[in-house]
Amino acid sequence: MVDVTDKSVSRRLAKAQGIVRVGKEIMAHFDGDDIQSKKGPVFHTAILAGIQAAKKTSDLIPLCHPLPLTKCHVEIKKLDEERVKIVAEALTDGKTGVEMEALSAVSGAALTLYDMCKAISKSIVIEDIRLLEKTGGKSDFRAE
């Protein structure tokens, strides 16, 4: 792992997003708030999975520092008739950033969405998982 011993503690925030192309067949199960599947409410379950993934990032990604998250928020919304957007925000006061936690949250939510909807259609595509914003530490970043 990178040695962060001499780094200062600062507020670290990261936002990430991903798009999941579920298709019209799955979106036909959208009830205005969530997609209903045989396994239950898809968005609600995927949000919990995303938060859990963020909390477990250091167990999933080698060499990531375990971080005490002070906030993790995951939101899933219908983007259009075939796609949903997942946005995750992770926050901590620490010596290293939370980009991987935000990206893990999006990835975990997207994979859960896939798992819960695959019985309806297997042509789901997870795409465009990326960092939107990072603040704190040595430098800030904002996607254009």
What is the helix (H) or strand (E) element at residue 71, kind and residue range? Answer: strand 71-78
Which structure tokens are listed for 70? 């002070």
43, 50 contact by CB (below 8 A): no
Which structure tokens are listed for 140? 């800030």
pLDDT of residue 137: 86
pLDDT along the chain (144 residues), means of 10: 91 98 95 90 97 97 95 97 97 95 98 96 96 94 92
Select from 104, 131, 107, 120 the least CA-distant residue to 20.
107
Radius of gyration of the chain (CA): 16
The catalytic residues are 115
**What domains appear along the chain, each with residue ranges and CATH number?**
10-135 (3.30.70.640)
Which residue type, as a one-letter code, is found at position 67? L
pLDDT of residue 94: 94
